[in-house]
Amino acid sequence: MAPDDQAISVLIVDGDDRFVADTTALLDGNKVYVARNMSDAQRRLLEENIGIAIVGPSFAHEAGVSETSVLFDIRPTLPIVLATQSMTTDLLRSALRTGIKDVIDVPLSIAKLEEAFESVALSTQRTEEGPKRSRIGRVVTIMSPKGGAGKTMTSTNTALSIAGWVGPERVVVLDADLQFGDICISLQIDPAHTIVDVARDIEKLDEPLLESLLATHSSGMRVLSAPLEPSLADEVSTQAIVKTIGMLKRMFDYIIIDTAPFLDEPVLSILERSDDVLLVVDMDLPSVKNSKLALDTLRLIKFPFEKIKLVLNRVNSKARLDVAELERSLGLNVMAAISSDKLVPRAVNEGVPVVSLYPRSRVARDLRAVARLVVTDDRIEDTEDEPQKGRWFK
């Protein structure tokens, strides 16, 4: 739609293929980048010289707008236009308050886009890059639609493995099992504050305040505790969780999120903001059946399946399930498997995860392999796990 001398780089942010395709078509002549979610968008902003972002209708609601604001952390002056299916004054107000330049309704047209672009073109030309943050954290969510599948065990061990590799100060665990979160018990932490305090202060939440509400594990790794009683779970809105995750991404390099065994609104919102999802499937039929149902739901909402890493738990237990059949039924390949080992509950009862208490055990090695699925740091030295590589014989 723009002649070459005026072409600007446009970032389209939306998970909906249709919206992306339609908008890309209208922008013929401009350089177009696409991000499926806000973390992809943040990455694009760090990598490319984006002139304007068009955020799609999937974000045209209160929580979506507040999530969009994470783009300003990368580029405080980025012009953002929000597209919506239904224009309301509430939406407009919260968009403008966030710093979004314009809200336009779909279906988009060349005329509407030109108008929006004109209103931001001048400021775009003047805009110099704001201070860039070189890193934003990766969100790793551990999920399973069945209680007892091993989510918390996987969360704590993954987090501690990563903390051991990259430094505990770069890792935070968010216990988002709002009713029955047991991360703190598993790690022997007695938290002074929980996510309930975060939610109560959400309006004035900033990084120093959030930092002061985090607990600290003996390793130095930070933890945001779940509410201490199930009845307090209601006080934690999805919006508060979303805002917290956005903030944690700017403070830490790895945000490990443990979840409740449901696919409810909070969990879905967390999944949407995750870079990696570890789906923990226990080796029993109900676990497989529930996982299949959960995956069907995620397929319906077009969740990007490449983020999901299937992790089998208790693989050597007696309930022998055919792995090939399981993979076929779930439509995913197994990426890692954790052995069943009595050292796991023993470690849990000691309040020290098995990778720390019995680092040389088979199950600890399995768990480090799970952690390695989500680590993006280049150099992870873990010599213990690969003694046969021959490095001692050179």
Judged by the rule CB under 6 A, the positions of this chain that interact with ligand ADP are 144, 147-153, 313-314, 338, 340-341, 344-345, 348, 363
Nearer CB in complex with ligand ADP: 32/189: 189
Query: Which of 56, 54, 51 shows the shortest CA–CA distance to 31?
Result: 51
Asked if 338 contacts 370 with a C-beta cutoff of 8 angstroms, the reply is yes
Residue 196 CB, shortest distance to ligand ADP, in Å, is 20
Amino acid at residue number 332 = L
Radius of gyration of the chain (CA): 22
* Count of positions (residues) in the chain: 394
Q: How far apart are CA 338 and CA 179, in angstroms?
A: 26
Q: Which does 345 bind (CB under 5 to 8 A by kind): ligand ADP, Mg ion, none?
A: ligand ADP
Cα(105)–Cα(111) distance, rounded to whole angstroms? 12
What is the torsional sign of CA 63, 68, 74, 77?
A: negative
Contacts of 143 (CB under 8 A, 6+ apart): 151, 259, 267, 271, 277, 278, 279, 280, 294
* CB nearer Mg ion, residue 151 or residue 309: 151
Cα separation, 280 vs 34, in Å, equals 30
* Separation of first and last alpha carbons in the chain: 61
- Residue 144's binding partner among Mg ion, ligand ADP, none (Cβ under 5 to 8 angstroms by kind) is ligand ADP
Cβ proximity to ligand ADP, 169 vs 182, nearer residue: 182
Q: How far is CA 379 from CA 102, 376, 382, 383, 386, in A?
A: 43, 9, 9, 12, 14
* DSSP track, 123-147: HHHHPPP-PPPS--PEEEEEE-SST
Cβ closest to Mg ion, residue 10 vs residue 277: 277
Of 102 and 366, which has the nearer Cβ to ligand ADP? 366
Q: Which residues contact Mg ion by CB under 5 A?
A: 151-152
Q: Are 58 and 51 in contact (CB under 8 A)?
A: no
Q: Which is nearer to ligand ADP, 23 or 274 (CB)?
A: 274
The DSSP secondary-structure symbol of 334 reads E
In the complex, least distance from residue 143 CB atom to ligand ADP, rounded to whole angstroms: 9
We find the least distance from the C-beta atom of residue 87 to ligand ADP, in angstroms, to be 42
Closer Cβ to Mg ion, 176 or 213, answer by number = 176
We find the least distance from the C-beta atom of residue 261 to ligand ADP, in angstroms, to be 6
Nearer to Mg ion, 106 or 311 (CB): 311
Sign of the Cα pseudo-torsion (11, 6, 25, 94, in order): positive
Question: Which entry of Mg ion, ligand ADP, none binds 57, CB below 5 to 8 A by partner kind?
Answer: none
What, of ligand ADP, Mg ion, none, does residue 150 touch, CB below 5 to 8 Å by kind?
A: ligand ADP
Taking the complex as a whole, how short is the minimal distance between the CB of residue 386 and ligand ADP, in angstroms? 22
22 binds, among ligand ADP, Mg ion, none (CB under 5 to 8 A by kind): none
**Which residue's C-beta sits nearest to Mg ion?**
152
Q: Give the burial string for 293-311 (b: 16+ CB within 10 Å, else e).
A: ebbeebeeeebeeebbbbb
CB of 186 to ligand ADP, least distance (A): 8
The kind and range of the H/E element at 28 are none
Q: Look at residue 148 and give the partner it binds from Mg ion, ligand ADP, none, a contact being a CB closer than 5 to 8 Å depending on partner kind.
A: ligand ADP
d(CA 194, CA 258): 14
153 binds, options Mg ion, ligand ADP, none, Cβ within 5 to 8 A by partner type = ligand ADP
- Beta carbon nearer to ligand ADP, 241 or 348: 348
Give dist(CA 196, CA 182) in Å, integer.
Answer: 15
Q: Which is nearer to ligand ADP, 57 or 147 (CB)?
A: 147
- Rounded to a whole number of angstroms, the minimum distance from the CB of residue 142 to Mg ion is 9
Closest distance of CB 150 from Mg ion, Å: 8
